[in-house]
Amino acid sequence: MDSLTHFTIGACMGEAFAGKTVGKKAMLWGALAQSLPDIDFIASFWMKTSSNLLAHRGFTHSFLFCILITPLLAMLAESIHRPHNIPLWKWLLFFGVAIFFHIFIDAFNNYGVGLFEPFSHQRVSFNAIYVADPFFSIWPAMACTALIYLKSRSTLRKHWWRMGLGFSTFYLLYCLFNKGNIDMDVKYILNKQQINYTRYFTTPAPLQNWLWYVVAGNDSGYHVGFRSVFDSKKEIEFQYFPRKDSLLLPFKEHKDVQQLIRFSQQFYTVEKWNDTLMFNDLRFGQIVGWQNPRERFVFHYYLQYPRENKLVVQRGRFEGWSYQSAQSLIKRIKGN
C-alpha cells in the first residue's frame, strides 16, 4: 500500500496498544513500525533500476526482517517510556504485529513481497487490492486525523481507532470476496472461449475493486482483458499480445534482462517502439486499457536506454488519464 496508508494504520494500531499509557506518542510508535519495512527505498539511490525492482519489498518485507527488527524497537520503546506498566513481551507483540501487518497488506498488491528472503526469492502476491485504493485508505486516514485532534483522555479515541482498523479490515475482506468471484468467472470464461493458458492472474484496475484486469496465456503470448463484478455476460473481449522472446536474443546475457524476467514472474512481452526495444511487465496493467484495449502497458522498460528507466513502475500509471478516461472507467465498472 501507499506510505500514507501505512502511516495512518500504524497510528491507529499504536493508539489501540498503548494510547492510554503513553498518550499520543503511541501513535508515533505505531506509525514508525508500520512504515519501517519501506526503508528499502533508500536502495534506489545507488542501485540500478532492474536490481532495485527486486530489492524493493524484498528482505525488508520478509519474516526474517520482522524477527530481527521487532526486539530492537521493543527494547528501545520500553527503555524510553520507563516507568510504565507495559511488560517487554507486550512491546514485542505490538511491534511484531505492526511490522508484519505492513508486510501482510502489501502482499495483497500485485507487486508482491519477499516473505522468505533471503532463503527464497519467491514473491507472495494475492492480487486482491490496488496499491492505492481510497476506499481502503479513507478509514484509517479519518481515524488518524481525529486522534491527532482529540485530547489524550477523550473517551471517543477508542471509537475512532476501532473504526479506522475495523472498516479497512472489512473492506479488505470484501476485496477477497470479489477476487474469489472474479477468479471463478475468469476460469469459466477462459474454458468457454477455448483460450489455452498455463498461467493467469487477475488484479484490480486502478483506484477501486470492482473492475479487474485479467491476463492469461503461456510462453507464446498473453490474452489481456477486463472483467467487472457487475458484468452480466459470461465473456471477456480479450486482446492478444505475443511475447516475442526472439527479440531478447541479443540481450539474453545482460544482467538487467535476466533480472526483469525474474521480476515479471514470466508475465512479460517484448516489442519494438520505432528503433527502441521495450520490455513490458504485464502485471501492472495497461494505460487506460479499459478505454483503449490495445493501449501500451504501464510498466515499460527501455532495454537500449537503461538510464531512462528510473520511474519504470510509476511513469505510465496515470499517463493518458483525463475526464473522459475517468468517465470510461466508471462506465466500464457498471458492467457490460
How would you class 323 by CB atoms within 10 Å of its CB: exposed for 0-12, middle for 13-18, buried for 19 or more? exposed
Report pLDDT for 251. Answer: 86
Q: For residue 268, give the 3-state DSSP assignment.
A: strand
Going by C-beta distance under 8 Å and a sequence separation of 6 or more, which residues neighbour residue 191? none
Would you list the DSSP string of 127-153?
Answer: --S-SS-HHHHHHHHHHHHHHHHS-TT
Q: Hey, what's the cell of 256?
A: 538487467
Q: Rounded CA gap, 218 and 277, in Å?
A: 21
- CB count within 10 Å of CB 196 equals 10
| φ and ψ at residue 170, rounded to 5 degrees | -60, -40
Q: What is the pTM of this model?
A: 0.94
Per-residue pLDDT of the chain (336 residues; tens, 9 = 90+): 899 999 999 999 999 999 988 899 999 999 999 999 999 988 878 888 999 999 999 999 999 999 999 999 999 999 998 877 899 999 999 999 999 999 999 999 999 999 999 999 999 999 999 999 999 999 999 999 999 999 988 999 999 999 999 999 999 999 999 999 999 999 999 999 999 999 999 999 999 999 999 999 999 999 999 999 999 999 999 999 999 999 999 888 889 999 999 999 999 999 998 888 999 999 999 999 999 999 999 999 999 887 788 888 878 888 889 999 999 999 999 998
Residue 242's DSSP bridge partners are 221
CA distances to 19, 20, 30, 154 from 151, in Å: 11, 11, 18, 5
Closest to 225 in 3D by CA, of 300, 298, 290: 290
Counting Cβ atoms within 10 Å, is residue 156 exposed (0-12), middle (13-18) or buried (19+)? exposed
Alpha-carbon distance of 208 to 136, in angstroms, equals: 9
The pLDDT assigned to 178 comes to: 98
